[in-house]
Amino acid sequence: MTDWAPQDPSFWRATGRRVATRNLWIAVPALLVAFVVWQVWSITATNLKDVGFGFSRSQLFWLTAVPGLTGGTARILYTFLGPMIGQRRFTAISTVVLVGPLLWLGFAVQNPDTPYGTMIAIAALCGIGGANFSSSLANIGFFYPKQEKGNATGINGGLGNLGVSVVQLLTPILITSSVLAIGAGQRKADGSEIYLQNAAFVWIPVLIVLAAVAWFGQNDLKVASTPFSQQKVIFKRKHNWLMTWLYVGTFGSFIGFAAALPLLIKTTFPAYSVATYAWMGPALGALARWAGGWIADKLGGARVTILSFVGMAGSIIGVITFLPAGSDQGSFHGFFLCFLAAFFFSGIGNGSTFRQIPVIFRGRHLKGLTEGTPQYAAALRQAEIESGAVTGFTAAIAAYGFFFIPAMFANFAVTSAMWGFVGFYASCVAVAWWFYARKGAEAPS
């Protein structure tokens, strides 16, 4: 589409809203299933020892961590490629390529002699699913006017994030179904049989259908087509780095806790079922993201962001309080409720930080300009370009939380890691207040 002016009320009513809505609701399920691929190891890893894989606790945590490393790295590339290629083409291509790692995973888990190095390679390729987030969010923002960007990105990101809960809720059901199995089952120590390959194979036809729907149903916007030479200016923008710091605290926590929680439950409170509890936190966080974007549109992003970090810090202190220590067996229900609160506040912060980014860059570029002038139009265009690139880049760096949080649990005591998170949240409160929320802040948002 060559003509796109969502800020024009008549255009938005006649054409814009309908096209934007269609593109959004095709993007959401595609992103959701990409998150399923990204997070499939968080549940798969908890079942490997039960069917004869001889991996250590640390090795299992690394299997859940590696997709975060590749996902974050690929997000950096996808951030800049997405606007260059277009929403329609990039959504279709980035969705269908995920069929490859799922095929490999489905065959590998059927053989307990599969080398650990092979499993690490498959986990790394599954991580590419997480990269779709950056291209999707960067592109969707171009479809919506300023006053609806927070809600639109909240819907796209929040419902896309639900893929974490979908995989953690459905995988335990799928792997026990012989009806869906392609290949032999794996025998557990208690004599029961499961089909780990189902966790991978069942999503392959879904990916193919979603790629086709995106190819034929979405649009590429000429206004969003931006060469890297125009996007790379964000690396000189201070607020790119500050918002990256904040988003690492919100989304990095959300995705890292989602990856680590199943194994944390299994190793810290083994009497409780991973399948019953693990999916609830990511679901709450994903839905809260939607709410966070909407609330931030009403109250201001910076205030909501600060609230989210205060809530996360308090929640993690609660988690620490209920962990087993010495002869104290801890309290699973206290531990789990506090983790739910941490997911909730991280979701709120995910929505509010993404609402802040376009407000900050519009404010910086349009300051002192008169609406309707050529200078204003050019500045608005540049603000949109930078907002999209910053949105994708912050999401890319924050995705490393998927790697670092399970890696910290693999190498440090759980309590020590948790106190480190609390300290980091305190620094995020300081950054958000000083630069964005206080009276006379440099970039109120």
Is the pLDDT reported for residue 339 higher than 90? Answer: yes
* 1 within domain boundaries: no
Is the pLDDT reported for residue 101 higher than 90? Answer: yes
DSSP E strand stretches across 121-205: 186-187, 193-194
CATH at residue 39? 1.20.1250.20
At 190, is the pLDDT very low, low, confident or very high (cuts 50, 70, 90)? confident
What SS3 state is found at 157? helix
Cβ contacts of residue 112 below 8 Å, gap of 6+?
51, 52, 53, 54, 186
Strand 186-187 vs strand 193-194: parallel, antiparallel, or unpaired?
antiparallel
Q: How confident is the model at residue 348, as a pLDDT?
A: 95
Q: How confident is the model at residue 124, as a pLDDT?
A: 95
Contact 81, 275 (CB under 8 A): no
* 183 within domain boundaries: yes
The percentage of residues in the chain with a pLDDT greater than 90, rounded to a whole number, is 51
Is the pLDDT reported for residue 104 higher than 90? Answer: yes
Average pLDDT of the residues in 137-143: 77
At 161, is the pLDDT very low, low, confident or very high (cuts 50, 70, 90)? confident
* 444 within domain boundaries: no
* pLDDT single digits (tens) 266-284: 889 999 988 899 899 999 9
DSSP 187: E
The amino acid that residue 335 corresponds to is F
Q: How many domains does the chain have?
A: 1
Q: How confident is the model at residue 42, as a pLDDT?
A: 85
Task: Report how far residue 311's alpha carbon sits from residue 6's, in angstroms, rounded to the nearest whole number.
Answer: 35
Is the pLDDT reported for residue 154 higher than 80? Answer: no
Tell which residue, 22, 20, 37, 25, has the closest CA to residue 206. Answer: 37
DSSP 15: I
Contact 157, 354 (CB under 8 A): yes
Q: How confident is the model at residue 68, as a pLDDT?
A: 87
Backbone angles phi, psi at 187, to 5 degrees: -85, 130
Is the pLDDT reported for residue 102 higher than 90? Answer: yes
Q: Which two tokens stand for residue 62?
A: 């690394």
Please, which residues bridge with residue 187 across strands? Answer: 193
* pTM, two decimal places: 0.80
At 231, is the pLDDT very low, low, confident or very high (cuts 50, 70, 90)? confident
Average pLDDT of the residues in 203-221: 95
Q: How many helices (H) and strands (E) does the chain have?
A: 19, 2
Tell which residue, 260, 307, 308, has the closest CA to residue 285. Answer: 308
Q: How confident is the model at residue 395, as a pLDDT?
A: 84
| Secondary structure of 334-384 as H, E, C letters | HHHHHHHHHHHHHHHHHHHHHHHHHHHHHHHHHCCCCCCCHHHHHHHHHHH
Exposure string (b/e) for 397-406, b if CB count within 10 Å is 16 or more? bbbbbbbbbb
At 7, is the pLDDT very low, low, confident or very high (cuts 50, 70, 90)? confident
The amino acid that residue 407 corresponds to is A
Task: Report how far residue 88's alpha carbon sits from residue 195's, in angstroms, rounded to the nearest whole number.
Answer: 35
Task: Report how far residue 268's alpha carbon sits from residue 414's, in angstroms, rounded to the nearest whole number.
Answer: 9
* 3 within domain boundaries: no
Task: Report how far residue 404's alpha carbon sits from residue 418's, in angstroms, rounded to the nearest whole number.
Answer: 12
- The residue length of the chain stands at 445
Q: How confident is the model at residue 388, as a pLDDT?
A: 80
* 443 within domain boundaries: no
The percentage of residues in the chain with a pLDDT greater than 70, rounded to a whole number, is 99
Task: Report how far residue 39's alpha carbon sits from residue 126's, in angstroms, rounded to the nearest whole number.
Answer: 8
Q: Which two tokens stand for residue 431?
A: 């950054």
Q: How confident is the model at residue 229, as a pLDDT?
A: 78
Task: Report how far residue 416's alpha carbon sits from residue 411's, in angstroms, rounded to the nearest whole number.
Answer: 10
Average pLDDT of the residues in 10-25: 92
At 396, is the pLDDT very low, low, confident or very high (cuts 50, 70, 90)? confident
Q: How confident is the model at residue 100, as a pLDDT?
A: 97
Tell which residue, 188, 187, 221, 254, has the closest CA to residue 385. Answer: 221
* pLDDT single digits (tens) 399-433: 888 888 888 888 888 899 999 999 999 999 999 99
Q: How confident is the model at residue 82, as a pLDDT?
A: 76
* 2 within domain boundaries: no
Average pLDDT of the residues in 82-99: 88
* pLDDT single digits (tens) 296-310: 888 889 999 999 999
Task: Report how far residue 399's alpha carbon sits from residue 397's, in angstroms, rounded to the nearest whole number.
Answer: 5
At 317, is the pLDDT very low, low, confident or very high (cuts 50, 70, 90)? very high
Which range marks the domain in which residue 85 is found? Answer: 9-220+227-437
Q: Which two tokens stand for residue 27?
A: 């993007």
* pLDDT single digits (tens) 340-386: 999 999 999 998 998 899 899 998 999 888 888 889 888 888 888 88
- The residue ranking higher by pLDDT, 43 or 106, is 106
Contact 75, 399 (CB under 8 A): yes
* 445 within domain boundaries: no
Please, what is the average pLDDT of the chain? 90
Tell which residue, 111, 124, 122, has the closest CA to residue 54. Answer: 111
- The residue ranking higher by pLDDT, 152 or 55, is 55
- The residue ranking higher by pLDDT, 190 or 171, is 171
* 122 within domain boundaries: yes
